[in-house]
Copies of this chain bind each other. A is one copy, B any other.
Amino acid sequence: MSWTRNGETRSYHHGNLREALMQATLDLIAEKGIAGVTFAEAARRAGVSAAAPYRHFRDRDELIAAVATAGFDRFAEVLKASWQEGRPSPAAAYERMGRAYLDFARQHAAHYIAMFESGVPLEAHEELQLAGSRAFAVLREAAEVLVAHMPVAGRPPALMVALHTWSLAHGVASLFCRADGARRKLPMTPDELLEAGFLVYLKGLGAPSD
């Protein structure tokens, strides 16, 4: 048996409910913020009954964790793609990655919120924790290459550089790149702010400027 709903034909079995619920969650975050995410509303938007989500997620936290996990996977891909193996130079590629970071925060604001501001405990969701680590690993590997191109004397630890980069980028993203009303005003673009910060920081490290 099958019938139409919202102009689309679908059978008794949704077939793709898990993904539909995750998409609904992203829409809800974008529209109402993380507090606007409920099982009932996500089910409604996916066109199924309120009990259906329980076949795929234990509770709201698990749904949000799944969305955050997918976000981290996508984030890792975006960062990796922007790094381009450090071409044409590690410093140039690193800055490009910084812009990609902010682009992600802007274009996938709902994912970014699920990843960093959802309040879902990391320990309780191993998949999420691993996905987060994989994304950070991209940043860290880039920092390794960046650092390897510096003079041996006074070469900084790559992990530290990666953590500083992450902190600065996250700070800029979460203060100045939000889509909601909590965004702070800025007399320049967030990209300019982050890039300028990177340049100063790299100079402080004694890095070749390109």
Binding site for B on A (CB under 8 A): 33-35, 116-124, 132, 156, 159-160, 163-164, 166-172, 174-176, 180-184, 186-188, 193-194, 196-197, 199-205
Contacts and interface: CB of A to CB of B under 8 A. Distances in A.
Nearest to A178: B119
Nearest to A169: B171
Given A164-B168, A167-B171, A204-B200, A181 B123 contact: yes
Contacts of A205: 200, 204
Contacts of A171: 166-172, 174
A164 B196 contact: yes
B35 A122 contact: no
12 contacts: A120-B182, A122-B181, A132-B184, A159-B187, A164-B200, A166-B175, A167-B168, A167-B175, A167-B193, A171-B172, A203-B204, A204-B205
Q: In the complex, which of the residues A167, A168, A183, A187 has the most CB atoms of chain B within 10 Å of its own CB atom?
A: A167
Contacts of A181: 120-124
**Secondary structure class of chain A's binding surface, majority of residues:** helix
A127 to B, nearest CB: 15
A22 to B, nearest CB: 19
Contacts of A203: 203-204
Given A122-B182, A164-B197, A174 B33 contact: no
Contacts of A184: 122, 132
Nearest to A172: B167
B119 A35 contact: yes
Contacts of A117: 117
Contacts of A164: 168, 193, 196-197, 200
A156 B196 CA distance: 11
